[in-house]
Every structure is written in C-alpha cells, then in structure tokens.
Structure 1
Amino acid sequence: MPRPLRLLLIALASIAGGIVLVVLVELYLLLQPDRFTAMLKEQAHEAGLQLTLSSPASPTLFPRPALHLEGITLAASNPGPSAMPILLAANGRLVLPWNTIFGHEVVISRMQINSPRVDLDALQAWLMNLPPQSATVPEAIPRIATGVRIRNGSVVQNNSEWLSNVSLDTGRLAPGQAFWVSMSAKETDGRPLQWQFSSVPSIADGALKLDAIDIHVSDSSATTLHLAGQARWLGSADASMQLQGKFHLSGEGDYDAAVMLTPAAQGKPLLLHLKLLGADNHIDLELPPLALAQWWNQLANPQGPQLSTPPGSGQIDMARLDLGKVHIEGLSVQTDDAAPAAAESTAPPATTPVTPRPQ
C-alpha cells in the first residue's frame, strides 16, 4: 500500500476514533448520575424514608447504560436514637434505556440489588410512626421494563435471622399488564420456602387497584397455600382486599381459606379477617395486621414459641397443634367479640383464659 494512502487511512481512523470517543464522553455525561440518585432520594423522602449511598453513583455505558450504586442504606426519615436501618445492601445496579439518558421520561429497565438485609423491627416501627394521612396513592404506576432481581438477601427480627438466601425476581411492571413476583428463601431450620405472586395493577379514580391476584406459597413439607382475589388502596389505611382459596397442611389435610381486609374507619384500625375451615380445625379471627405480624413472629421464634391469644377478636378451635417440641390437643381460644382497640390505644383486648393440655 502506498505510503500516502496509509497515512490517509491512519488519519481517517484517528478522526473516526476521536469522534467515537467524543460521543462516548457525551453519553457518559448525559447519564447524569446525580439526576437519577436525586430522583430515588426524592421518592424515598416522599414515603418518609431516607436513602443514602456510601459513594456517589457511578455510570457505565456497556453493555447497556446503567448506574452502579454502592453501600445502599434505607432508613426512616426520623429514626429513634437506637433505630436500625430498614434495609442495608452491598450494592445495586439500575439499567436504563437509551432514550432516558437523552432527557426523556425517567424509566428504569431493570433493578438489581445484591445482599440486601431487611430489618422487620425497623420496618414495623416506620409503618407505625407514619402520619395518618402521609401515604397517598401515586399519580402513576412506576415502570420497570424488564423487572427487579435480588440475590443473597436476608430478613431479620430482634437481631435474629428469620429468612436467609433470599432470591427474588419480578416481571415487567406497567399499568394494566400482568405483573409477577417469584421468591425463594430458607427458613431458620434450613427448610426451603417458595412464594409466587401475580396481579394486574392499575390506578383509576384515585385508587390503586390490584386485579386478578394469584398467590402460591409452598415449602419442602408439601404445605401449600393458594389464594385468588383482588385489592384496592385509596391512601393511608383506606384499603380493602378479598382473597379466597385453599390451604393444605402436610399431614393434616385441606382447609378452605379466606382473607379479607377492611379499611380503618370510625376509630377502628385497619382490620384483617382470617378464616380457615377444616375437618377438625376452625379459625375465624379479626386482627390488626401489625399486631398479627408480631404475634406470628412470637410463635415462630427459634428460641421457643411463645403461646398467647391473638390480639383481636374471634375463635380458634383446633383438635391438635404442634409448635416445635410443644404438642397440644383440644385447643380452644375465644376472644372478646368487640373490635380490637385503635392503633393508638395500648389497652389489650379482653380474652378468656386458655388452658392447653400439653402431651
């Protein structure tokens, strides 16, 4: 090849390389990490939460535009002096579509979170301290083009691990389209747990609607739960839900199951109605959801179950109950028919004595 032609090709290649480098630098600058981290922090602040990162978000262009987040901490905006963060994560990654970096609507293609740690006590404290009217229905459902991915997560309570090796995947999130969530984890005894959820979300007439809800839960002992129904949320504690299905308890048989949520009104808290009807067992309870979660965690305490009546009204009749090393036959619990006290009240509901017969 003649020397002048070689020089011309080298010059053209240098110019092309320079143009590509300039374009890449411009695209890198257009990612504007501060723009996206500010958006995330603002959304967290609106929910009464504070999002912090151990270092500024770092952008990448290949194979797709993305922001890498290090040292993620999510805590209540006004935590107590000894309060723990609600969520801690080693790192995360937000994958973005190309049109977003050119100033279009902020859309996240995919969200990945690695090694998150969720503290149930901190989560419960944040929920209980929310102002009555602080939670409002968003104007639109956020869009996630290809879903969320979480790996190697954990859930703790009272500084004890409740679930480990948590993995979670979701489908595409968009209004009026089916959205699914699939989660797997291990319980404290190493038993694997599977949970699947699907629904069609939408916002209409000032309400967040979840139609065609379908829930499947199972563990290694062949215990399964299947529920289907719908839910509505109009902000704060104005929520309703109707779910029906089947609960299969390994070695015990099938139960007809129903779950209903009624909104807070006239001094009454948000109430969860739970019904299980089997051949020898019957449960019909009306419970405040947060108190129910605390009661259930006491029963599942790995240090030993703490037997107590549920914080609400209703009836439990069970021919047999096994909780770890505790075996009870002929358990009958009858609580007061009055509605549970409002969330701000500290007075416990009246109950009749329980006299289980340990074997």
Structure 2
Amino acid sequence: MNRRLRVGLYALGGVFALLLAVALIATYVVLQPERFTALLQARARAAGLELTLSSPAHPTLWPSPALELEGLSLRSNVSGTPLIAASRGKLVLPWHTLLGGEATISRLEVEGARIDVDAVSAYLDTLPSRPSTAGATLPTIDAGFRISRGTLLRGTTLLLSNVEAETDRLASGRRFTLTVSANLADETPYALDLDTVPTLSRGVLTLADAKLKLASEKHFEADLKGDATWRGGADVGASLSGRVSREEGKPFDVVLAVTPANQNDPLYVALKLDGETEHADLHIPPLALGEWWNGIHAGGTLTMPPLVGTFDAANVDAGSLHVKGLRIEATPDAPASSTTVGSAP
C-alpha cells in the first residue's frame, strides 16, 4: 500500500471517529436522559408510586433513539415491596426528539420483570373507589409496551413464569392488539391473543369485532369472535362464539354470553359446549367462583363449585384421573351432584 493511500485511509478513519464522537455527544445533549427519567418519575408520583433506577439512564441511537434503563423498581408510597422490579428497560423515543422536540415516549420495553400480585392489589386498594353509578373508563396507553422474561408472583409463591406480553397503542376508536404467553407453575404453557376495536362513548366501552384466541401447546386451541360492552361496575355484557380444537379428542363448538348484574342476580357467564361426546349448558357466577377458588387454596373445606346447569362427557382425562360417563347437574336450590359410570382412577 503506497504512502498516499495509507494517509488517505488514516484521514478517513479520523474523520469517521470524529463524526462518531460528535454524534455521541449530541445524543447525550439532545436526548438529555435526565429529562425523560424525570418525566417517568413525575408520572409515577402522580399515581402515588415511586420509580427508582440502579444507575442513570444512557441513550442509544440504533435502531432508533432510545434510553437504556438499569435496575427499575416501582413501589407504592405505602408499601416497601416493589409492585414491579426489572433488570432492564428501554424507552423508545420518536426521532423528532433528536431535534429538541417534546419529551414523549413511543414505546416501553421491560426485561426480566418481577410482578408481585399482593403488592399490586395493596396499591389498588389505596386508590379512591369509583361510584357504582360511574360509567366505564378506558386507560389510554400512548406508547405500546413489551414485557419479556417476566415472572408473576404472590409473595413468594410463583404463579407464572417466562411471561411475554406486547401491546400497541390503546385509544378509543383505534384497533388494539394484545399478545401474552406464559408458563404456569407446573410449566404448562399458555398463550392469549386479543384483537379488537375499543370505543368509549358516553360512559359505555364497546369492544367491537373482537377476536380472542387462547391456546396451550399440545393441549388445546380456542378461537372466539364477538363483541363486548362495559357500562361501569358489574354492568358487563358479551357475546362470543367459536370452536375449540384439542390435541387429544375431537373439537367442539363454544357459545359464551355474559349477563350483567342487576338488583336480583349477580354477574353471570353462560357457557354452552357442543361436541361429539361432550355437552354443557352452564351458568357461572365469576365472583362467587373466585371466592370458592380462593377458599380452596386457603385450605377451606372442599365443596362443589358454584355452578348452575348440566355437564355431560363420555370420557374425562385429567392427568392421572380417568372418568367415563360423567354427568353433573346443579340447580339454584340444590348443590351440584355428579353421576359416573365405569369410572377408574
């Protein structure tokens, strides 16, 4: 390589290094990590929460302007247990922020998040209660978010692991998608996908053209379509229908309808299943069912769940339990009873 070419390459490399240094300095000056950190902390304080970082945020430019966050912790002002603790986070910013534009966030990404259900529940209990006559609300999400390698806990009890969740912007009249996947404590994987158009008008929230998919790999996959409405409180209505396919067993049709609570009856979910060997017509009170489930987990007496209706199945296989000819009947005035024929453990 001749001397002139070598000098030219050195000069070109020096110019590139200088431009890179200038770009990095400009990134810190223009993005001003402290203003975005202050923006997040101000929003948290307005909600009665305290956001801390283990180290100051630092900016990046590729593949888009962003701020890298290390050691996030979000606590309630009345509790020392973090609602959310994450190893890393990223605030993705619009390109106009490089030109000194308004401090806005286009996306939030969190990695290695640990979410404590008890801490979240305790925080929600501190929020002012809404009047029972208040209409529906739709919390706006200006920026989409993503959670990766998350964990859901209740104190020291593991509920979900390997949680992956992602959404885009949530706003009235705009199509919204949500994808969630996670493993139960026994490592059984589940995935949920929701696609709908939420519209809030005069205190009524409508989820139009809703597509809901719930699946567990090598177990089942349910595809439902329909609409739902919420008018505030327990005034919830929905009508969904679709099909459930299974890895072992033939598919069956599903019709699900939610009836709002009134002065005489609680909120009910009507569930109809129609398959080749399974048929069900059940009315389920979700609030009472939740209380029953919590009582069982708390060590209470094992009782039949608070269901009304009938369930028939030629075969039921649940782990080591194998039952043939199962029929369950329940009425509002009599506890649920079951009849089995040729059952075997």
Q: Give the shorter-chain TM-score range.
A: 0.7 to 0.9
State whether residues 133 and 235 of structure 1, in contact with CA within 8 Å, keep that contact through their aligned partners in structure 2.
Answer: no
State the 1:88 CA deviation: 4.2
Q: Give distance in 1, aligned partners of 2:276 and 2:126.
A: 41
- Name 1:252's counterpart in structure 2: 249
User: TM-score, normalised on structure 1?
Assistant: 0.70
What displacement does 1:208 show? 2.2
Per-residue deviation, 1:244: 0.7
Match of residue 181 from structure 1: 178
Q: Distance in 1 between matches of 2:73 and 2:157?
A: 21
- Of 131-140 and 222-231, deviating more is 131-140
Please list, as runs of the form range in 1=range in 2, the aligned pairs for 1:24-173 lying within 5 A after superposition.
24-25=28-29, 27-28=31-32, 31=35, 33-42=37-46, 45=47, 51-55=49-53, 58-63=56-61, 64-66=65-67, 68=69, 70-73=71-74, 87-97=84-94, 104=102, 107-119=104-116, 131=129, 133=131, 137-138=136-137, 141-144=140-143, 147-156=144-153, 159-173=156-170
**How big is the shift at 1:228?**
0.7
How far residue 108 of structure 1 moved from its aligned partner, in angstroms, is 3.1
Task: Give the equivalent residue in structure 2 for 1:334.
Answer: 329
Q: SS at 1:214's partner residue? A: strand
- Taking the aligned partners of 2:90 and 2:187, their CA distance within structure 1 comes to 29
- More deviation in 329-338 or 228-237? 329-338
Does the 8 Å contact 2:27/2:60 carry over to 1?
A: no
Aligned pair partner of 1:351 in 331, 335, 340: 335
In the alignment, which residue of structure 1 is the partner of 2:273?
276
Residue 158 to residue 327, structure 1, CA distance change in 2 (3 Å) = farther
Aligned-pair identity in percent equals: 30
What amino acid maps onto 1:214 in structure 2? Answer: K
Cα shift at 1:227: 0.5
Once the two structures are superposed, residues 209-268 of structure 1 have per-residue CA deviations (whole angstroms, 9 ceiling, x without a partner) of: 221111222223251100011112222222222111011233221111122222222154
Per-residue CA deviations over 1:62-81 (Å, capped at 9, x if unaligned) read 32254736333466x878xx
- Secondary structure of 2:209's aligned partner: strand
Q: By how many angstroms is 1:282 displaced?
A: 1.9
Match for 2:319 among 309, 320, 324? 324
Structure 1 residue corresponding to 2:203, chosen from 192, 201, 206? 206
The alignment partner of 1:311 has SS state of coil
User: In structure 1, what is the Cα distance between the partners aligned to 2:71 and 2:45?
Assistant: 14
What TM-score, normalized to structure 2? Answer: 0.72
Q: Which runs of 5+ in 1 are unaligned?
A: 1-13, 339-349
Shift of 1:294: 6.4
1:179 Cα deviation after fit: 1.9
**How many pairs does the alignment contain?**
315
The question of whether the paired residues in 2 share the 8 Å contact of 1:37 and 1:57 is answered with no
CA distance in 2, matches of 1:163, 1:208: 29
How many Å separate the matches in 1 of 2:331 and 2:124?
A: 26
Judging changes above 3 Å, is the alpha-carbon distance between structure 1 residues 188 and 216 closer, same or farther for their aligned structure 2 residues? same
Describe the SS at the equivalent of 1:38: helix
Partner of 1:312: 307
- For 1:31, what is the secondary structure of its paired residue? helix
1:5 matched residue in structure 2: none
Q: Work out the CA distance in 2 between the residues paired with 1:232 and 1:171.
A: 21
3-state SS of 1:116 partner: strand
Q: What is the RMSD computed on CA atoms of the aligned residues?
A: 4.0
Q: Please give the per-residue CA displacement for 1:48-99, whole angstroms capped at 9, x wherever unaligned.
A: xx53334488444432254736333466x878xxx97654434433333366
Q: Kindly tell me: are residues 139 and 182 of structure 1, through their superposed partners in 2, closer, same or farther at Cα, counting changes over 3 Å?
A: closer
Amino acid at match of 2:38: D
Distance 1:319 1:122, change over 3 A: farther
Cα pair distance change 1:247/1:184, threshold 3 Å: same
Alpha-carbon distance in structure 2 between the residues aligned to 1:240 and 1:103: 43
- Cα distance in 1, alignment partners of residues 203 and 94 from structure 2: 29
